[in-house]
Structure 1
């Protein structure tokens, strides 16, 4: 009898749906609400004529914007309404308990503004400026980029809040998403298989892009006209481009850590860390960030292509076509990161499931 009791008490306890109880994961929803509310109020200020509107025709580089010819008077009221409406959704997701509104509707309402920001307001300049920060070049950062980053973080928090809400209302653990039945849970073996394919894809795509930039730096006008290559050479653009491409290539090689042993245990040459386990968040957080930014950048190039921005550059395909494949890179990196998380997340401290 004692042995049976011990076995039973050691089993994970199913927390079930959390009703009316505050959960620290709900802080994500409140953070999303606050960020979206403040940003919505800022756009309301701009809608009423305030100075400093960062998007559309007022963009520092309007040629990259989806609203290049749309002024503040027309665009700001829409963005204000979008962010304020999203703040209401965030609040509904954060409040304890269930809503009368179906969970699918609330989750969809969270995904919509995220898609709008990723596909219209944000662009490749966030990723480019991140690379410049690592190169200690801060001059390229401008007001528009700062606002793009704030918008991306705000809707990112909203999406995370929607995930927590879906887990909470379905009876899953809000921390890890596991359920008592284990239905739909990928095994470490299956995650390793599809994660490996995704990781290799995430390595190949940026190397294809980098090969064009390295060729230009070496004097080979691969995919561009001789005239354009000469113009870039005079301004030393190809050296800078090769440097950025090299950073991207090195980052893509780090992706292999998601499927290699050294991505789980620090290698011998890392003095002071050798032999220690690599924290899961150390790999998951930056890889997730890069996957989002790379996808945003690629979507921008696809959008510009559909808008006809590159119609006069058909002979210079090397300057735009490689970037259009970036969403494949971003999605593959996200999948590889998810597989890495599934393989290494271990036993959840909240629900004790493993």
Structure 2
């Protein structure tokens, strides 16, 4: 009991707010959740490394041509992935345990970012985004075992990055819930966020429209950026109609991005019967925008990776089929920045530390 009182007194002296009474302290459990997910997935890959059935990556991928390890079999690949996830689980546990580590915080955070980058650039690809679009179109047949594993891997390392951010806040004396300190807001203030968030939002609108313009052109009979032969081939299978539909969904989503810097993104407009005049919940904008920013970045990185792997060497005359996707990381980063700025502008007073 004495140690608990001293610990709280020490935190108060350091300016680090404790959890609000009566509220579930989700930040204290984030690291343990990341550890559990990473550990379980690491053990799954250990099972596959010892000959278990169901390995989803590399040469065993449902579509190995999209994989970074297209010609690498389970025997060689599974042990490396198992080691990566089990090592990440160890880092996540260090982030979750109370107190400071002898290992510098920047090293633990760097390891978390490296793990996420490794998953985003190698294991995950555009099929997660494509399957999400197909779900909205009520087409569930494209979802397969590899995509499910990609999604689990992305969520696991995402939890790890979140726990690293919480750890950095905790060890620096900031509020673990909002990240605020007593030294001032700076670039995270609502005024500053409104400035740089507006530029990010406009960028996130333009990039998907550039991509959509090629797909609309193909559907209208204009082989923009592709050969006549490829266009005729896609026309026979009605690929350009489906591509235009997906592009339209992306374009509509890009226009919704404007809500991050417009009043109708904060107050429901008058034409929304039953909701007009009410404040838009922050999470209603932040959660889907964050999800899309991650998925389009992963998809764009995959196209860049395939380019360097030489997958498009025979398609130099068909730049319209690959180049627009290569700028998707710009879209993803810009959307993430615009979403963060929206959150900074609207988060209000923190219920944990009462800073605002």
The superposition leaves residues 288-345 of structure 1 with CA deviations (integer Å, 9 ceiling, x where unpaired) of 1100000000000000001111010000000000000000000110110111111111
Equivalent residue in structure 1 for 2:55, among 37, 47, 53 = 53
- Structure 2: tracts of 5 or more residues without a match: 1-11
**1:268 counterpart residue number:** 270
User: Are the counterparts in 2 of residues 301 and 320 from structure 1 also a CA contact under 8 Å?
Assistant: yes
**8 A Cα contact 2:56 2:149, kept in partner:** yes
* 1:228-265 deviations in Å (ceiling 9; x for gaps): 01111111111110100000000000000000000000
Match of 2:247 among 241, 245, 248: 245
Where does residue 37 of structure 1 map in the other structure?
Answer: 39
What's the counterpart of residue 92 of structure 1? 94
Name 1:200's counterpart in structure 2.
Answer: 202
Distance in structure 2 (CA, Å) of the matches to 1:17 and 1:283? 28
1:18 CA drift (Å): 6.3
Check conservation: 1:198, 1:332, Cα contact below 8 A: yes
- The 3-state SS of whatever aligns with 1:315 is coil
Cα distance in 2 for residues equivalent to 1:327 and 1:285: 19
Instruction: Specify the alignment match of 2:16 in structure 1.
Output: 16
Aligned residue in 2 for 1:343: 345
Aligned residue for 2:55, secondary structure, equals: coil
| Contact kept in structure 2, 1:18 and 1:168, CA below 8 Å | no
Contact 1:57 1:69 in 2 (8 A): yes
Q: Distance in 2 between matches of 1:266 and 1:313?
A: 46
C-alpha RMSD of the superposition: 1.6
Distance 2:290 2:71 in 1: 33
Q: Do the aligned residues in 2 keep the contact of 1:199 with 1:258 (CA within 8 Å)?
A: yes
In structure 1, the residue matched to 2:170 is 168
Output one character per residue of 1:171-196: Cα deviation in whole Å (capped at 9) or x when no partner: 00000000011154532222111111
1:153-207 deviation per Cα after TM superposition (whole angstroms, max 9, x unaligned): 0000000000000000000000000001115453222211111111011001000
Equivalence for 1:119: 121
The aligned counterpart of 2:329 is 327
User: Which position in structure 2 is the counterpart of 1:310?
Assistant: 312
Structure 1 residue corresponding to 2:211, chosen from 209, 217, 222: 209
Q: Which residue, out of 76, 87, 97, partners 2:78? A: 76
- In 1: Cα distance, 2:26 partner to 2:314 partner: 53
Cα deviation, 1:129-150, whole Å, max 9, x if unaligned, reads 0000000000000100000000
Give the CA deviation at 1:95: 1.1
Partner of 1:9: none
Matched position secondary structure for 2:316:
helix
Between the aligned partners of 2:34 and 2:15, the Cα distance in structure 1 is 25
Is 2:164 aligned against 1:156?
Answer: no
Taking the aligned partners of 1:14 and 1:244, their CA distance within structure 2 comes to: 52
Q: Is the alpha carbon distance of 1:352 and 1:18 closer, same or farther for their aligned partners in structure 2, counting shifts above 3 Å? A: closer
Separation (CA, whole Å) in 1 of partners of 2:346 and 2:230: 48
- Give, in angstroms, the shift of residue 27 of structure 1: 1.2
Q: Distance in 2 between matches of 1:301 and 1:185?
A: 33
The gaps in structure 1 that reach 5 residues or longer are 1-11
Query: 1:23-56 deviations in whole A, cap 9, x for unaligned?
Result: 4312111111111111011000000011110000
Q: Distance in 2 between matches of 1:13 and 1:131?
A: 50
| CA distance in 2 between partners of 1:186 and 1:258 (Å) | 15
Taking structure 1 as the reference length, the TM-score comes to: 0.94
Structure 1 CA distance for aligned equivalents of residues 181 and 165 of structure 2: 14
What is the total number of aligned residue pairs between the two structures?
Answer: 341
TM-score (norm 2): 0.93
Moved more, 49-58 or 188-197: 188-197
Give 1:272 shift: 1.2
Q: Which residue of 1 aligns with 2:293?
A: 291
